[in-house]
Each structure stands twice: as C-alpha cells, then as structure tokens.
Amino acid sequence: MSYRGEKGKQALVETIVRSAKRGKGKQADTVERFVRDFFGNVSPQDCREESGDALRGAVMSLWDFAQTRKPRNAKVRVFNPTKKKHGWETGHTVVEIVNDDMPFLVDSVTAELNKRNLTVHLLIHPVVPVRRDGAGRMKEVAEHIAPPEVSGESVMHLQITEQTDPHCLRELKTAIGGVLDDVRAAVEDWRPMRVALADVIAGLESKGGVIPREEMAETAAFLRWLEDNNFTFLGYREYALEGRNGSQSLSVVPRSGLGLLRDKSVNVIEGLGDGAVLPPDVAEFLRRPSLTLINKANRRSTVHRGVHLDAIMIKRMDEAGNTIGQRLFVGLFTSTVYNQPVQTIPVIRRKVGNIIERAGFSPVSHDGKALLHILDTLPTDELFQIGERELREMAMGILHLQERQKVAMFVRRDPFSRYVSCLVYLPRERYDTRLRHHVQEVLEAGFGGTVTAFYTQLSGEVLA
C-alpha cells in the first residue's frame, strides 16, 4: 500500500502506531512516542516510495535495537533484513545507529558511505528524548529532553546500496563505529581545544619583545580569526623539539593530544611522527622567523566532511626566543571562509598587501584592479599554504595571461614533498568533463602520481 501527501503519511503513521502498541502493555505510550518521533521529519515522498510493511519493520527494528545502550557508547548494526529472519525486507542494506546526540553525526556517517561509493536511498534520523536506568535499559521515551534524567539520543535508519558479502557488512560496521568514535572525541574535546588556542594567543603576547611585533600581531589576529567560527577544531597536539641541527626530531608531549589526536600514534602529517627525524623542509620552517605554517594533512577528516584536514602549526618558543617545539591544530576551515574577501583574512591579507605594494600598480589602474581580482579569486586553500614570493610569481603570471585564450599551468610543491598542487587555466569555451579527464591523465603521467582531488572554477571570464 502506498501513501500520498501529508495526509497519506499521517494515515501510515497512525496505522503503524496501532500495530506497534498492540501487546506492549505499560510500554504502549513509550512505543507510540518513539514511532511518532521516528516519522516526525520523514517526507511524504519517502513514505510513498517505501512500502508500509517495510517502514513498519524499520521503525520496530530500530526500537528493539535501542532498548539497551551503554553510556557514552554508540551502537551500530549493518544487515540485510529478510522476511524469514526479521519479519520485513527491503531491497537495500540497512544501517542502524543509536548514539548520544551530538554535532556532525549525520554528515560524518554519510561522508564515510560516500567515500565507499555507497548510495544512501533513505535516511531517517530523529533525536529521541530517552530516559535509561543505570544498566542502560530504556525506561521511557519522554515528551521532551530534560537533562540529566532525559537525554537526547540520535537514532538513525539508513538504507544504502545492497551489500551481500558478509565481510563487507562487518567492515562497514567497523568503519562507521570508528567514525562515531572520532566524532565523540572531537566533540568532547572541543572546549579544551579552544582553551589551548587561548593559551597559545596569551603565550604569543607575553613574548612581545622576542617576536617581531608585526609577526606576533598578525599571528594573534589569525588565531582569533580562527576562533571566530572560521575553523572547526577537530584535534590538537603539542610537540617538543629534541636533538641538534641535522638530527632534530619532534616528540609528542605526553597527554597533550585532544580530539582526533588523542592517540599519539595517529600521524596526520608525514614527517611529524613521534620521535622521527625531521625532514629538511620541516626543519627549515622551525629555523625561519615565521610563527605559523598552514598546510593540508595527509589524513582525510572522518568528522563533518571527508576532505583532507587543514593543519595549523605554531612554534613554541622559550623566553629567549629559541624554538623548543610546536603546537598543532587540525580541523576544517568553515564553508564561510571560502566566500570572504582575501583582504579580510589574517595572514592572507598580509601576503596580498605586500604583493600589491611591490607590483607598483595604481589601485585604480586596469592592472592594479586585475591583480587584486586575481588574488581575490585564487583558491583560498592555496593562499593559506603558498609562500609570498611564490604567490607573487603566480599572480603576475596569471596577470600576463589577461584575456588570451591560452592554456597555462602553475605548480606549487608541498613543503613536505607529499604532493603538488596544479592550477590549470583553460579556454572556458573548450572546458568540459572530457577535457578535464584528459588534463588529469596528463598530470598523472607527468608527475608519476595520482590525482586525489580536483576543483573546477568557472566564471564569465575567457579562462576556466
């Protein structure tokens, strides 16, 4: 039987409520609230596309699964329901999750599924007010959340591309469990990471006589800018610098790890393993007068968005101005960052200002306006990571292209020698997916590597 529109959905819910309450005795009211919460934000279209029997089976299966849960632990089940074993069936693999409600749960789980090329056909994820006893047994589904007696629990029902291999089902359950552990670690340590950032800022300002004033002021402004909802903090760690020039290493400061970096064996940047001898480029950064290095981590985020983590390294200095270690924050720049004018972002604005000043163009001239436009439209991640001299050469090279329909490429090598970033300009009228694939093949052959990510930027200009 199919159900049309909101009235059809309500008819379905009432039918399932009556069926669910049957024989439940004292639990009847709790079952009814659970069912109504489950369907609260489900669209009528989803109700129409799934059979009533399958939806009834889905909600009651999740109800049974949620009956017990240990505090601060996520429950995950991945299975293929069958009429014979479960009393209901669907043409997809089902993922069930019961967990404490917290940020990033849905997008983190779906990012993991997308990474595995698994299509999500149905996603239902209410937050249910639950009261449990000391053993974790569900006692009641309340009318509203009233901590500490009643806590909000995230319950998820997902239907994904069917997986018939039992090994794949087990592997997927383990992977989702790991994602949920990472989310919990990042959320629980969010406040301590903010405290660590405040300590870094205070430490910088206390060394005003050691650090050049302009460098200190811009670094402090950048860290405050991060704090102002421009960065999602997911991990933090401190390192101590050991050894002498030529054989220096960074060792993890015990018990300094937070969030994704709680475990000191987790390495997000090649060359920064606990106690490993520093590669030349890292050692060079520690010798330079600059305080910060912004880069991409080797590891993709398992929390929020499945992209490479942004890594921010800040030197630790003693009272004499000697480098004695570094602090590492990892996370993700928020989506709003990529729409901010470059002249408002600390660190980037200084690079841009210096380049415009040294170019010698009048701000109102054609070249002056064109250069600012180029810098304002370059990928923000590139602007964070690139050195000022390299950025100036790239910007002037792009400026010289002007309106010519010419193919050009600008290459930036990662300071840790892990990857190259290629900014390729192509005539906009010729750009399509076929050409993009061809460019990718040329780059992979030329560099002897694999393209791990690509981004397309199209505008009204002649070059893409």
Give residue-wise pLDDT tens across range 172-228: 999 999 999 999 999 999 999 999 999 999 988 777 666 788 888 899 999 999 999
SS3 track for 397-462? HHHHHCCCCCCEEEEEECCCCCCEEEEEECEHHHCCHHHHHHHHHHHHHHHCCCCCCCCCCCCCCC
Residue 413 predicted with pLDDT over 60: yes
Q: What is the mean pLDDT of residues 371-390?
A: 91
* CB distance 294 to 311 below 8 Å: yes
The upper half-sphere exposure of residue 44, i.e. CA atoms within 13 Å in the direction of its Cβ, equals 9
List the beta strands (DSSP E) in 261-407: 292-300, 308-317, 323-333
* Tokens matching residue 207: 């060394």
Res 3 pLDDT > 60: no
440: confidence class by pLDDT, cuts 50, 70, 90: very high
pLDDT surpasses 80 at 385: yes
pLDDT at 209: 65
For residue 156, pLDDT over 60 is answered with yes
Closest of 418, 423, 331 to residue 383, by C-alpha: 423
Q: Which helix (H) or strand (E) holds 152?
A: strand 151-160
- Pairwise pLDDT comparison (231 vs 271), residue with the higher score: 231
pLDDT at 447: 94
CA–CA dist 54, 88 (Å, integer): 6
Bridge partners (DSSP) listed for residue 358: none
pTM: 0.90
The more confidently predicted of residues 170 and 25 is 170
Is 384's pLDDT higher than 70? yes
Mean pLDDT, residues 324-343 taken together:
94
Yes or no: say if 189 and 160 are a contact pair by the CB < 8 Å rule. Answer: no
Length of the chain: 464
- Give the rounded percent of residues in the chain with a pLDDT score beyond 90: 63
pLDDT at 146 over 80: yes
CA distance 331 to 320: 31
Average pLDDT over residues 16-43: 90
Sorted by sequence, the CB contacts under 8 Å of residue 241 that are 6+ apart come out as: 248, 249, 250, 286, 316, 323, 324, 325, 326
Measured CA to CA, the distance from residue 464 to residue 461 in angstroms comes to 7
pLDDT at residue number 245: 67
Q: Which of 39, 42, 53 is nearest to 1 (CA)?
A: 53
The structure tokens 């972002």 sit at 345
The pLDDT assigned to 22 comes to: 87
When the pLDDT of each residue in the chain is averaged and rounded to a whole number, the result is: 90
Q: Please check whether residue 67 is in contact with residue 60, taking contact to mean a CB–CB distance below 8 angstroms.
A: no
Residue 184: enclosing H or E segment and its boundaries? helix 166-188
Residue 206 CA to residue 217 CA, distance in Å, equals 12
Q: Work out the average pLDDT over 310-319.
A: 90
Cβ atoms of residues 127 and 33 within 8 Å: no
pLDDT value at position 452? Answer: 86
Of residues 106 and 325, the one with the higher pLDDT is 106
pLDDT of residue 2: 52
